[in-house]
Each structure stands twice: as structure tokens, then as C-alpha cells.
Amino acid sequence: MKTGKRSFFQTLLNEKDKRWALIWLVIMIVVAIWNYLFLNKPALQKVITGFINTFTIATLVVIFTLMLGWGFTLLLHYLGKNKGKTGYMAIMFILNLLRSIPQIIGVLLTYIAIASLITSGAITSSLFLFPLMAFSMSLFIVNELIDLMRDRIDHFRKLDFYNAMQVCGIAEHRIINFDILWKNSRIHIFNKLISVFGSAIFLQCSVDFIISVGLSTQVNAVTLPVTLGSLLAKIDSKQDILAIGNTLTNPSYLPNLFFGHLLGVTVAFLIVFSLMCIYHIANGYAERHKL
């Protein structure tokens, strides 16, 4: 018997993840309106492109991480039944190798490879470029998801759950895919994917920033799509960021930040605020589902 539906506001008050998702959306709309009114058109176009590119690549990273993670987990599960076998050892070696490389270094190296493909003319379309960038990034993130999924399978294998289903003649692929991963772990997996989304934005911005300030001679901002990270590294944005520092010693300069330095302030705000919201959404989601 239901004791009455909770109101929309009660839900937002009690459920931190939904509250922060709404806060993010509302603030993004406010920022968009403000920029539409006060930012010059070419700069506005760059911010919009950078925002869309960054979030599109991050979304693709999530999709690739999920596909790779699920695939590797199944592969390791079936090969792991005979742990001495070459296949299991080879995959574990590759995954451990990827794990040993710091994510930011790994992404930087793959970006160098992608840039050389662009300059050699092997990649011309962004339709192919975006998935390639996302795929290379997901290679260095996927271990987190594989660890989670393998932990979930191990947990259920220790219970009678797995044995009871097996002796009922239920196919092993159904137990693993449907009963363990889908029915009993999708909340955990989704929570991890929210973090992966945040990591993808952070990694992109960090690597784009490193590339844009010229740490690599192989890669430059011209060869790769515009993202929030590369926008932040541009000279205009740097001056805008410096203006924030100036405001600390000269508070009367504050109003200029929202008119004269809008490009850099907006990009920096989009990155920092989005990452903060994703952090709160992931935490709230974990709390709501008691993970």
C-alpha cells in the first residue's frame, strides 16, 4: 500500500543526484543566455563547439568503456576457468600494461599517434576522429570497470546464487550477463560510468591543455578538434583567467569579468562546475542506491 506519492520538490530535496543534475542544467541555461547576450558571436561559436565536442567525446568514452569492459570481463571469465592458458595470461598482461601507464600519459601518447594520422591524411573526417579519440581514452580507463564487474561476478560466485542457478541448468552466459551483471550490478556499473564520464572530461581538458601550450611538437591545436581544454589554453582565455587573479587585489574590477573576460571565465567555469556536478551526481547516486 502506497502512503502517498512524494512531491517533485521532496524528491529533489532527498535525492542528491537528481538535485545536482537539475542544478547543472539550470546553471548551464543561465550561462548560455548570459553568453548569448554578452559574448561576441565568433567566441560564442567556439564555446558552443568546444562544449559539444568535449561532451560528445566523453559520451563516446562511456560507450566504448562499457563495451570494452563488458567484453573483457566475459573473456577473462571464460578464459579464467583454465588459468594456466595463454589467452588468459595474454589478456591480463595487456590490461596490466595499460594499468601501469598513467592515464594522462597514455592519452597524450595516443593523441600523438592520432595527430600523425591526421597530418598524414589518413583521417580526414571528424566522424571517424571523435570515436578514435574516445576509444583511445577508454583504453586507459576501462580497467576500472573491468575490476568492478569481475568483483561483482566473484561476489555472486561465492554465494549459493551461482551454484543454485547452475544446477537448475540455467546457461552460464545468462547467469553472468543477465542475472549478475544486468539485474544485480547495473546500478554499480552505471555509477562507475558516471565517474568515467567525469574522468573523460578531466582527461580531455588536461591533455588538450598540455598539447595547446606546446609540450608536444607532434600534436597541436590545429590538428585536433576544439574542446574546452584547448579553448582554455588560448591566449585570450589565459588573459581572462589572469583577470580573475587581478580581481582578488582589485575587487572593483569584478564586474568586468562577466563582460570583458567572458570567454575564459565561461570555459573555466564550464569545466570546473561540470566536474563538480558530476562528482556530486555520482556520490548522490551511490548514496541513493546504498552502494
What's the closest the beta carbon of residue 192 comes to another protein, in angstroms? 18
- Toward another protein, which CB reaches closer, 185 or 195? 185
In the structure grid, which three cell numbers stand for residue 188, read together?
Answer: 554499480
- Toward another protein, which CB reaches closer, 41 or 81? 81
CA distances from 87 to 115, 145, 148 (A): 32, 20, 21
What's the closest the beta carbon of residue 196 comes to another protein, in angstroms? 23
Q: How many CB atoms neighbour CB 149 within 10 A?
A: 25
Q: Are 149 and 158 in contact (CB under 8 A)?
A: no
- Positive or negative, the Cα torsion across 232, 237, 238, 242? negative
- Toward another protein, which CB reaches closer, 95 or 165? 165
- DSSP reduced 3-state for 167: helix
What's the closest the beta carbon of residue 166 comes to another protein, in angstroms? 6
What's the closest the beta carbon of residue 20 comes to another protein, in angstroms? 21
User: What is the end-to-end Cα distance of the chain in Å, rounded?
Assistant: 26
- Toward another protein, which CB reaches closer, 6 or 238? 6
What's the closest the beta carbon of residue 74 comes to another protein, in angstroms? 17
CA distances from 41 to 48, 110, 233, 239, 261 (A): 10, 33, 20, 19, 14
Q: Are 228 and 202 in contact (CB under 8 A)?
A: no
- Toward another protein, which CB reaches closer, 121 or 169? 169
- Toward another protein, which CB reaches closer, 5 or 41? 5
- Toward another protein, which CB reaches closer, 148 or 165? 165
- Positive or negative, the Cα torsion across 156, 159, 165, 169? positive
Binding site for another protein (CB under 8 A): 1-3, 6, 159-161, 163-172, 174-175, 178-179, 183-184
In the structure grid, which three cell numbers stand for residue 261, read together?
Answer: 573576460
What's the closest the beta carbon of residue 151 comes to another protein, in angstroms? 17
Q: Are 59 and 51 in contact (CB under 8 A)?
A: no
What's the closest the beta carbon of residue 79 comes to another protein, in angstroms? 15
What b/e string do you get for 159-193 counting C-beta neighbours within 10 Å, with b at 16 or more? eeebeebeeeeeeeeebbeebbbeeebeebbebbb
The C-alpha angle 69, 54, 243, rounded to 5 degrees, equals: 135
> Do you know the residue count of the chain?
291
- Who's near 273: CB < 8 A, 6+ residues apart? 24, 27
- Toward another protein, which CB reaches closer, 150 or 155? 155
